[in-house]
Structure 1
Amino acid sequence: MSAPDSPSSNALRHPSFVFYWLSLWAAGFAVQIMSVSVGWQVYDITRDPLDLGLIGLVQFMPPLLLVLVTGLAADKFNRRGIMGLCLAVEAVCALGLVAFTLSHPTAVWPVFGILAVLGTARAFLNPAADALAPNLLPRQAIAHGISLNSMSWQIANILGPVAGGLLFGISGEAAYGTALGLIGLAVVMVVLIGRVPQPNHAEQTTL
């Protein structure tokens, strides 16, 4: 990724975007930690490879089924508000996984319920987050912002599973607790973004 030509085109010179970018990184890292840890935990309990496929399916289905609704929500409602609400739901999911682990479970159906809620939250968060970035930057900095978002996504997808495996090797509580802390950080970053003007009809309707 080459450096931007001028300070005005450097997305990192815009504090609201920096908070937004850090929130995406933290939340993405947390989700990767949870996904890997859940896979190990479920397999430890059931020893059934089919359950690993179901874990992916449960997380994939909400974005697929809700694609039209989530896109409309990102256009119509306050995008920062959607991000904050979805991250709060993700925090509840992480807390649920901590509680599940502490209960010394023998059945895994609660995990699938938690993952369905998590997948639904991500389904609404991602379009809203994608649409929010241009509202935080001047036109000349948008390309740099997009490249930074792509970089954070790649880092989270590479290092997140590694961190998840290492943390779950310590304990499930350590893995999910770390994810909860990262989501909490993401929520703080979203709050620090501040008020964001939205164009067109999105300004007239708030979440």
Structure 2
Amino acid sequence: MPTEPAPLRRLPRFLASQSCSTLSYQMLAVAFGWQVYELSHSVFYLGLIGLAQFTPQLLLTLIVGQAADRFDRRRIAQGAQCLQAAGAAVLALACLTHLQNLPLIFACAMLTGAARAFESPSMQSLLPTLIDEAHLPRGLALGASARQTAVIVGPAAGGLIFALGADKVYFSCMAAYLLAAFWLHRLPGSTRSASKAPITLQSALAGVHFIRARPVIFGAISLDLFSVLLGGATALLPVYARDILHTGPWGLGLLRTAPAIGALAMSLYLARHPLRRHIGRKMAWAVTLFGLSTIVFGLSHGFLLSLLSLVVLGASDMVSVVIRSSLVQLETPDAMRGRVSAVNFIFIGTSNQLGEFESGVTAAWFGTVPAVVLGGVGTLLVVMLWRRWFPALFARDTFGDSSSVKA
């Protein structure tokens, strides 16, 4: 039986689990990036980290969506978190025994990607079962605030702990993942979906068909995909930290933290002042600002200006994230949330992990700075094209009513 939405009192345990998992993942990202660049001195290899995480996510999309709609979502997420803890433990032991190498790091990156492929859709589809729809936009904003707090603390903590030893970072990640699983265990009741439909190819592809049949949702998800795919510069932050801005691991941690600071500030604002009107227009302006701040970061050679541009980048991206997440969650039936969330997660993974691969490849071809600037320009072009191709998205006025269009 599906769980009835509960008051916001259940939310803190969910947010604690989400925050611990995000904290660990962000520390892992710092350790992965610094160790790979230190061992290879190659921007192409930095891009391969993203590809290593994205590939299993893509291959598992149809499986994880079905799983989240048929089994206990809480148990699926717990298992994924424990698997990621095991991967971090392996890397920690490899560092202690001086056996760390590029193949092992990439193998653990693939393991992390596979585990997150199960964890993220399960967590996304779990949240709407814990609170009622009236509180969902606020709950999503609070969730974004907690997640971005972890994104702020994670890279900075990862950089500082890395200075004490790579093994200590990985052991810290292991502990955080296990704590995340503990907080999920503290959630009361079953989180099993009510889906009883037989397993067929049509049911597996239902999430894809659902999104494609709704231009507003498809436009929002694809706009976020291509803007971050082209405009994402996070894969190249180790290069900026070491070769352009001339800082150490601590500087890399601060650079990775800066977008989260902007995102946290914006999510806290949106939790207090939820988006209600002109959401399509606001999304367009947010993605435009994301592209402009990417260009500024790419051209900057000053540490403070780089940090500021990344803060603005994170704040503008958060507006887009909240709008996209609210549209997906409010307009998807619970029995399909797992499959829709899985497809949504692939779009996010494409923009993030595959975007990191794209940044590494273009940086290897054109150079680091031109690659970032061209990505920002590409984001601005995407906004112009999406205005023409998805007019319903940019005309959308409010959440929850597909007929609510503002001319």
1:151 match: 145
What corresponds to 1:50 in structure 2?
44
Residue 167 in structure 1 maps to residue 161 in structure 2: yes
In structure 1, the partner of 2:83 is 89
Q: TM-score normalised to the size of structure 1?
A: 0.84
Deviations 1:6-28 (CA, angstroms, capped at 9, x unpaired): xxx972xx1x3211110000101
Shift of 1:32: 0.6
Query: Which portions of structure 1, spanning 4 or more consecutive aligned residues, are displaced by more than 3 angstroms?
Result: none
Give the conservation status (yes or no) of the 8 Å contact 2:7–2:130: no
Indicate the residue corresponding to 2:17 in structure 1. Answer: 23
- C-alpha offsets along residues 167-196 of structure 1, whole Å, 9 cap, x if unaligned? 111111221121111112111101111322
Other structure's SS at 1:196 match: coil
The alignment's TM-score, normalised by the length of structure 2, stands at 0.44
**Root mean square deviation, CA, Å:** 2.1
Matched, 1:187 2:181: yes
The more displaced of 95-104 and 83-92 is 95-104
Structure 1 position 68 matched with structure 2 position 68:
no
Higher-RCO chain (CA-CA 8 Å, sequence separation at least 6): 1
Deviations 1:42-73 (A, max 9, x none): 22223333221111111122222322222221
One-letter code of the match for 1:31?
Y
Q: Distance in 2 between matches of 1:195 and 1:10?
A: 14
2:33 corresponds in structure 1 to 39
Shift of residue 158, structure 1, vs aligned partner: 3.2
Give the Cα separation in 1 of the matches to 2:28 and 2:101. 18
Q: Pick the structure with greater CA Rg.
A: 2
For these two proteins, the number of residue pairs brought into alignment is 192
Q: Which amino acid aligns with 1:135?
A: T
What displacement does 1:197 show? Answer: 4.4
Shift of 1:106: 5.9
Q: Distance in 2 between matches of 1:168 and 1:51?
A: 20
CA gap 1:152/1:61 in 2 versus in 1, 3 angstroms: farther
What runs of 5+ residues in structure 2 fail to find an aligned partner? 1-5, 197-407
Letter in 2 for 1:51: Y
Work out whether residues 74 and 127 of structure 1, in 8 Å CA contact, stay in contact via their aligned partners in 2: yes
**Offset at residue 123 of structure 1 (A):** 0.7
Contact 1:63 1:123 in 2 (8 A): yes
Please report how far the alpha carbon of residue 199 of structure 1 lies from its aligned counterpart in structure 2 after TM superposition. 4.4
Aligned with 1:165: secondary structure?
A: helix
Deviations along 1:67-109, whole A, 9 cap, x unmatched? Answer: 2222221111110010111011011011011012112136321
What SS does structure 2 have at the residue aligned with 1:194? coil
